[in-house]
Amino acid sequence: MAASFVEEPEAGPRSKRAAILTAAVDCFGETGFEATKWSTVAERVGIGQTALYHYFESKTHCLLTIMRLELQRSHDKFTEATAGVDDPVDALRSAVGAAYDVSDQEVLQMRILHNHMDLLSGTRKSKREEAERVAARQLVQVVERDWTNLLVRGMSQGAFPLRDAQLLGASVLGLIVSVWRWYRPSGPTPLSEISDLIEDACVRVVAM
């Protein structure tokens, strides 16, 4: 099942694409997508607003790109964390741990991603936006499959009781990502503590 690719523009040496993405993540993550003016992102990068359109077709196109990149990262992280871990419970713990092993910038990206999941439903008008949307939507399914497969494997090995893996997978994923709604790096609860609690909770949900 080959994924439809969005040709990642290779960075010319003068390209500000990466800088724009970083600035956009900061702005969208802290101020919120709707609340941040597109021109503010331009300012922060140090270019005129219209220069943004050299790199992204629209503000939304930039957002969708951020979301897709984050989904790709999540999937890669999951794969890496579970590769070669045979025991299902260990794999589950490792996967949950990996989900919370993120930098502050990635926390913002997670927040952005989950605050705008609804964008992935309806089709977009312009070509490149729609391409990003489809790619992102596909990655969502890939990530969901990651988790469901993990559960299916555990169930068939007898490590987890038999349940609707699809539904349970979605629930576990929901439990994990719900944290990004409220977690703030500056807040009172360290991420490690959250990670441990959720990890245990996931094991109880799945393996008991």
Binding of DNA by 13 (CB under 7 A) = yes
CA distance 205 to 154: 13
Counting residues that bind DNA (by CB under 7 A) gives 22
Considering only 6, 19, 47, 175, the residue that binds a copy of itself (CB under 8 A) is: 175
Residue 133 burial by CB count (10 A; 0-12/13-18/19+): exposed, middle or buried? buried
Binding mask 130-169 for a copy of itself (x = CB under 8 A): ---------------------------------xx--xx-
Binding of a copy of itself by 126 (CB under 8 A) = no
CB of 25 to a copy of itself, least distance (A): 15
Terminal Cα-to-Cα distance of the chain (whole angstroms): 33
Q: Which is nearer to DNA, 52 or 198 (CB)?
A: 52
Binding of a copy of itself by 198 (CB under 8 A) = yes
Binding of a copy of itself by 35 (CB under 8 A) = yes
Single-letter code of the amino acid located at 111: R
Binding of DNA by 183 (CB under 7 A) = no
Beta-carbon contacts of residue 114 (< 8 Å; ≥ 6 apart): 177, 180, 181
CA distance 9 to 15: 10
